[in-house]
Amino acid sequence: MKGLVFVTLLLLVSACVKEKKAITQTEKVWNLDIENADTLLRHYIDSITFLPLEDKADAMLYGVDKFVVRNGLFYLADFRAGKIVAYDAKGHLKFVLASRGGGPKEYLEIKSFAVDSSFIYVVDNYRHKVLVYNGKNGQYERTLNLPFVVWDMEILPDGNFIFAYIPYKDGTPNIKQDKYKIFITDKELNVLNKLFEYKEGQFDFIGRPCYFTSSEQGVVFTSASSDNLYLFAGKDSVRQIEVKFRKGIPEQQRQNLELIDENGYNYWANTPIWYKDYIIFMVSHDGFLFDYVYNTENGQLSKNDSVNAYKGLLTPVGTDGKHLFSYLNDYLTYQELIEHGFTRADKEAEQHLEHEGALLVVYTWH
């Protein structure tokens, strides 16, 4: 997919379950007119600061596929490298979880992970396991049998687990499982609910590393099969918000990536982050990817200024409810941003980045 250089820089039952719970009716409709978004995103941003992440060889990441803030720690996962790195609020390295292997305490892959107040849960689809590690030090605790293949996992506000499996073209799970996109289980992986049934031959035209994001309101879920956004607050609690893009994908073309790209339709390129009264997300528009902010209070849709990077929003990786966080590990990218007016880091942070270190870019909003 094409991308603009500068804008890119800124840029859901086991046998004991008798019936699946119905989705609640649409409670809201968001009309997202991407073509007419203003370029005033910077007006939401109060300050930008930079947090150097302690640099050690075993903590190096290619990038951040999933980011979680919990227990006073930042958990950054690189699925390709098969590791989760945990830092404290000052950027000091606490531990590295890198247990790839075939042993009883190891995983063959990290497809996803989730964190509660005590543990880190790692999804390994190859072995059909969820491995449980101590959330404070990364030490192995136990292993759970995973009864399905999933692409993402998160913790619901009621303490239960939620998993997402999204069918792809010409791809099927390597174990037999019910054709649902969302599975909700208890902490022992007993299925409590399953939602969004799909039929043979139905698939999403594009995938993504994560299908969930966490917020104070609950767990957000989207996928390419629908423009709707779903917010889960518990095993039987789900809110549905209808999203209407001005240039949305016609239903008869939703599985045809070639036509979607050719016609420049709008679709979620990632799962939105719900931060305070704002929804922050990336959307495809005319074949390019742009970051947007939707104000849920007044319906205003904003994006970065494509020329002036002053108080520009780099694609965020997550939130702690008080701040938004982006990940930056490329000094050349940083230099180009600075040339276009981006907020400059202090000397220590700049030198850290220049010597192949990584920063969390911390945004505080009005």
18 has a pLDDT exceeding 60: no
Q: Report, as an integer, the average pLDDT of 186-192.
A: 98
Q: What is the pLDDT of residues 285-337, one digit of tens each?
A: 888 899 999 999 999 999 999 999 999 999 999 999 999 999 999 999 999 99
3 state SS of 339: helix
At 201, the pLDDT band (50, 70, 90 cuts) reads confident
Q: Rounded to an integer, what distance in angstroms lies between the CA atom of residue 275 and that of residue 146? A: 31
For 177-189, what is the mean pLDDT?
97
Q: In this predicted structure, what is the pLDDT of residue 286? A: 84
Q: What is the mean pLDDT of residues 145-164?
A: 97
**With bands split at pLDDT 50, 70 and 90, how would you rate the model's confidence at 83?**
very high
pLDDT at 19 over 50: no
pLDDT of residue 23: 59
pLDDT digits (tens, 9 = 90+) for 217-265: 899 999 999 999 999 999 999 999 999 999 999 999 999 989 999 999 9
Using H for helix, E for strand and C for coil, what is the string for the chain?
A: CCCCHHHHHCCCCCCCCCCCCCCCCEEEEEEECHHHCECCHHHHEEEEEEEEECCCHHHCCCCCCEEEEECCEEEEEECCCCEEEEEECCCCEEEEECCECCCCCCECCCCEEEECCCEEEEEECCCCEEEEEECCCCCEEEEEECCCCCCEEEECCCCCEEEECCCECCCCCCCCCCCEEEEEECCCCCEEEEEEECCCCCCECCCCCCCEEEECCEEEEEECCEEEEEEEEECCEEEEEEEEECCECCHHHCCCHHHHHHHCCEEECCCCEEECCEEEEEEEECCEEEEEEEECCCCCEEECCCCCCCCCCCCCCEECCCCEEEEECCHHHHHHHHHCCCCCCCHHHHHHHHCCCEEEEEEEEC
Contact 124, 97 (CB under 8 A): no
**How do the domains of the chain map onto residue ranges?**
5-11+25-365
Residue 182: the pLDDT is 97
What pLDDT is recorded for position 24?
Answer: 59
- If you average pLDDT over residues 273-287, what whole number do you get? 93
Mean pLDDT rounded to a whole number for the chain: 92
Q: How far apart are CA 67 and CA 313, in angstroms?
A: 17
Tell me the β-bridge partners of 326: 361
pLDDT top residue among 146 and 217? 146
Q: Which CATH number fits domain 5-11+25-365: 1.10.357.10, 2.120.10.30, 3.40.50.300, 2.60.40.60?
A: 2.120.10.30
Handedness of CA 323, 62, 74, 217 (dihedral sign): positive
Closest CA to 202 of 240, 248, 251: 251
Task: Indicate whether 31 pLDDT > 70.
Answer: yes
Tell me what pLDDT residue 25 has: 60
pLDDT at residue 71 is higher than 70 = yes
